Amino acid sequence: MFKMNLFNVLILIFITVLNSTHGANILGVFPINGRSHWVVYESLMKALAARGHNVTVITSFPQKSPIANYTDIDVSTAFPSVANKIGIDLVLNVLSNTHMNQMFISDHQLKLCRETIKLPQVQGMLKSDIKFDVVFTEIFGSDCDVGYAYYYKAPLISMMSSGILPWSYDRVGGPDNPSYIPLMIMPTSGKMDFTQRLKNTIYYIYFKIVWKIFSEWPADKFLKESFGPETPYINDILYNTSMVFVNNHFSLDGPRPLVPNMVEIGGIHIKHPQPIPKDILKFIEESPNGVLFFTFGSMIRISTLPKELLQIFKDVFAQLPIRVLWKFEEEMPDKPKNVFISNWMPQRDILNHPKLRIFMTHGGLLGIMEAVKSGVPVVGIPFFFDQFRNIQNVANNGAGISLDYYSLTKESLFNALNSIITNSSFSLNAKKLSQRFSDRPLNATETAVYWTEYVIRHKGASHLRTAAVGMPWWKYFLVDVIAFIASIVFIVLYVIYFLLKTAYKKITKKSVPKDKKKN
């Protein structure tokens, strides 16, 4: 008996020592085929491998050359990358409609889950006897990936490549009171007026309901099909989330209260600047008055924009005293003299060049953060979801201007660009914002690595979880307590009323006969 116990203890010590010295086994489940999501997750996965952890990643973007301690499970055959494939029609007709966008992303994520788990390389991993110390999933269209954390009985860390999505608070019990916490689709900051609070509240309720019906229920069905009928309800797995990483920073998105297991890692994708390709560098360095960089991101195909609009861009650029770098995927026969086009441009490195004067963008979060990091003023033409807010965040800091796509004219575009060129306050504010964005105790990568290792060290760190996790809304908003207090107050008031009424009746009864006598 004693021998057996000692043996167990020794094994336990051996395992503990092994764990703490040899790094952890980490699984990242990130099948998403959009590069702007992947680059965020990739930064952390690579940083963890560099720390000596054994990292395995389900991804659509396998590494070109092998990295130590990093294994790809390549699922790109099922999901080709969407880079440069999305036309403006899809953007304007589907994505810019909040409801259609929601249907689109939940459907897309469920497809990713279904196809990923079928692949032999994924089945091979599930059937092998590998164990994981932590499992990462993405928070986006649906949580159908969390089954892997359940399957491996490992702590779950979830990440957003965006700011805080409305459906990411509940799993960690984060406060999301719509009276002062704007949703990602609200381009507001600070105090909201009545109409803004009304809109914010309606969308708040909308997202709760739509998420449940179109993301939560189908994902739960998928989990039971894939990981067995005894799999707990999806929220039981979600409410067990150890940590949520969010890709934003209060200096940009405004302050809001966060629970200790929701951590901001805004800008984690921003790498050390690399040399710019020679032709682009020459164009920038030989510019007499600096350069504007224009791109609608890695997914939207800019050549699908209406001809009239492309003409507006060309006419306005031709009038500018500065040069223009334009990410454009096709030939451009009538290209103005001061414009340089290419279908690929190293955005981060270009934005970091000291001659950069303006970043013209659709307002994708990653590009906005790169411009903020390098202190470049922004002119934004947002299309959908968080893009309005991303640009407004910069504009609120006096470092940018937001333009409306539908009412864009030569004049409005020229005026916006020209005021940034002629008025130095935009550039000064952009530099101030850059300093606030970079002033942190640990940089984004170190922060994410620290908290990941914290979760591993403390075996899931369930002590970070607030009591709000999984609380029904009526308890959370104290509906029961308010109803109880209200009924006590009502009863007391009623008793007082009743006593006064009886007393009054008695007094008047006594006095009635007197009156009658008088009569």
DSSP bridge pairs for 293:
325, 359
What's the half-sphere exposure (Cβ side, CA atoms, 13 Å) at 330? 10
Q: Is 25 in the site for ligand NAG (CB under 6 A)?
A: yes
State yes or no: residue 391 binds ligand NAG (CB under 6 A): no
Rounded CA separation 158/408 (Å): 38
Q: Is 22 in the site for ligand NAG (CB under 6 A)?
A: yes
54 by DSSP, 3-state: which?
Answer: strand
Per CB under 6 A, 446 contacts ligand NAG:
yes
Among 12, 52, 177, 410, binds ligand NAG (CB under 6 A): 52
- The residue among 420, 349, 429 whose CA lies nearest residue 396 is 429
Among 240, 295, 338, 352, binds ligand NAG (CB under 6 A): 240
Q: Token pair 């004219």 is at which residue?
A: 409
Asked if 443 touches ligand NAG (CB under 6 A), the answer is yes
- Should residue 68 be labelled a site residue for ligand NAG when binding is judged by CB under 6 A? yes
Residue 398 sits in the site that holds ligand NAG (CB under 6 A): yes
The pair of three-digit structure tokens given for residue 159, joined into one six-digit string: 């990440």
Which residues are bridge partners to 67 per DSSP? 70
Q: Please identify, among the stretches 66-74, 136-144, 216-224, 251-259, the one whose residues bind ligand NAG according to the rule CB under 6 A.
A: 66-74
Stretch that binds ligand NAG, among 88-96, 149-157, 282-290, 312-320 (CB under 6 A): 149-157
Q: What is the DSSP string of 275-330?
A: PPPHHHHHHHHT-SS-EEEEE-TTTB-GGGS-HHHHHHHHHHHHH-SSEEEEE-SS
What character string, x for contact with ligand NAG (CB under 6 A) and - otherwise, covers 452-491? --------x-------------------------------
Position among 121, 425, 435, 466 found at the interface with ligand NAG (CB under 6 A): 425
Does residue 343 belong to the site contacting ligand NAG (CB under 6 A)? no
Q: Let me know: does 89 contact 304? Beta carbons within 8 Å.
A: yes
Query: Which of 121, 123, 274, 423: binder of ligand NAG (CB under 6 A)?
Result: 423
Q: Per CB under 6 A, does 137 bind ligand NAG? A: no
User: Quick one: 25 or 338, whose CB is closer to ligand NAG?
Assistant: 25
Q: Is 289 in the site for ligand NAG (CB under 6 A)?
A: no
- Report the distance separating Cα 254 and Cα 393, nearest Å: 8
Residue 45 vs 284, nearer CB to ligand NAG: 45
Is there binding between residue 56 and ligand NAG (CB under 6 A)? Answer: yes
Contact between 326 and ligand NAG (CB under 6 A)? no
Residues 206 to 235 in contact with ligand NAG, rule: CB under 6 A? 232
Q: Are 42 and 70 in contact (CB under 8 A)?
A: no
Over its C-alpha atoms, the chain yields an Rg (Å, rounded) of 29
Task: Say if CB 361 and CB 297 are below 8 A apart.
Answer: yes
Nearest to 243 by CA among 150, 144, 145, 137: 137
237 scored as a contact of ligand NAG (CB under 6 A): yes
Is position 155 an interface residue for ligand NAG (rule: CB under 6 A)? yes
Residues 454, 148: contact at Cβ < 8 Å? no
CB 157 within 8 A of CB 245: yes
Task: Note the residues at the interface with ligand NAG (CB under 6 A).
Answer: 22-23, 25, 52-54, 56, 68-69, 71, 130, 150, 153, 155, 232, 236-237, 240, 242, 272, 398, 423, 425, 443, 445-446, 460
